[in-house]
Chains A and B, each alone.
Chain A
């Protein structure tokens, strides 16, 4: 599967991340099918894509997207509760909850259902990609990569593209270019067995551990650490303050 051959993208698991990914891919011109477990979950994903603070309608209202493009984008997204509806997609982006065994199971199921030349990527925040691909066929392992987006997806530009020793270069290249076509700044990361987190999360976690040590040792308070990083480094947020995230409202 080459970059030029990718027309339709299946998003496995909606919600805030899957919804955001569906939105940016549809805006980039791809046909997108989102699969959720239930009609209730589909409604939530729809709400994230169409009605939320980072959704398509607001993007038009704040001058980020033209009205007609928004309408065309909305028409390119469809929803289903049936995994079988993803069988003809050219690329699957998995965004189910962050549990390794769940992701392994989901990919094993998809491997049997989705056409053999489709690319599989996971939006895991940090599981080793080779481990998630453990239960797919050998042929699919060559088509398997990581594609880690940041929340809120429509606003955050970064996408980490993770390749394993088995990922074909043409697959890495295709995934990278899909990320770029969706308006993201794509960066390459090599899968690192035994770790959790790619670049951004690992580096940020190291900083966080040092900050925690300073608090623990009574050297500075949480509030003062946040203040120093924001005013001394111009970080938009610190470690300890109220901050949005999955399950919270941005």
Chain B
């Protein structure tokens, strides 16, 4: 599957992350099918994509997207409860909850349903991609990569593209190309067995461990550490303060 052959993207699991990814892909011109478990979850995702603070309509109101682009993008997104509705997708982006066994199970199932030449990617925050791909067929492994976004997806430009030793160059190029088409700043990351986190989360976690050590040693308070990193390094947010995230409102 080459970049120019990717037309339809299947998002496995909506919510805040899946919804955000669906949004940027539809805006980039892809047809997008989002699969959620229940009609209630579909409504949650729909709300995030269309009505949310970082959703499409607000993007028009904030001057980030033209009215017509938004209207067209809305028309390119559809929702379903049936995984088999993704069977003709050219690229799958998985965004189910962050549990390795769940992701393995989801990909094993998708592997049997979806056309053999489709690319599979996971938006895991840090599981080794080879572990996530454990239960798919040998033939799918060259088509398997990681595609890690930062929340809220429509405003955070990062996309880490993770490749395993088995990921083909054509797949890497296609995944990177799709991300760039969706306005992302792509960083290439080599899958690292035995680790958790790619670049951003690992580097930030190392900083957080040092901050925790300073707190534990009584050298500084959490509040002062946050203040210092924000005013001494101009970080927009630090470790302990109010900060949005999955399950919290941005």
Contact = CB atoms under 8 A, between A and B. Distances in A.
Interface of A: 150, 156-158, 160, 184-185, 187-190, 192, 198-200, 202-207, 209-211, 214, 217-221, 224-225, 227-236
Nearest to B210: A206
B233 A190 contact: no
Interface string B185-205: 111111010000011101111
The 4 closest A-B pairs by CB, nearest first: A158-B232, A232-B158, A210-B206, A206-B210
A93 B190 CA distance: 48
A40 B200 CA distance: 45
Given A158-B228, A206-B209, A224-B188, A214 B202 contact: yes
B211 A185 contact: no
Taking residues whose C-beta sits less than 8 angstroms from the other chain, chain B's interface range is 35 or more
B160 interface: yes
Contacts of A188: 220-221, 224
Main SS of chain B's interface residues?
A: mixed
B229 interface: yes
Contacts of A219: 189-190, 192, 199
A185 B227 contact: yes
A189 B202 CA distance: 26
Contact of A220 (B187, B233, B235): B187
A200 B211 CA distance: 9
A234 B186 CA distance: 14
Interface in B222-248: 224-225, 227-229, 231-237
A236 B217 CA distance: 29
A231 B150 CA distance: 8
Contacts of B210: 202-203, 205-207
Given A184-B231, A185-B228, 14 more contacts: A156-B231, A158-B232, A160-B228, A203-B211, A203-B225, A206-B207, A210-B207, A218-B190, A219-B192, A221-B188, A228-B200, A230-B185, A232-B160, A233-B235
A210 B203 contact: yes
A188 B223 CA distance: 10
A229 B157 CA distance: 10
Contacts of B214: 199, 202-203
B219 interface: yes
8 contacts: A185-B227, A199-B225, A220-B187, A220-B198, A224-B199, A234-B235, A234-B236, A236-B235
Contact of A232 (B188, B200, B205, B219): B200
A203 B208 CA distance: 7
B207 A225 contact: no
Contacts of A158: 227-228, 231-232
Nearest to A192: B219
A202 to B, nearest CB: 6
Contacts of A189: 219-220, 224
A146 to B, nearest CB: 12
Contacts of B218: 190
Given A160-B232, A210-B206, A232-B150, A220 B221 contact: no
A231 B187 CA distance: 10
Contacts of B206: 206-207, 209-210
B173 to A, nearest CB: 16
Contact of B199 (A157, A190, A200, A228): A228
B156 interface: yes
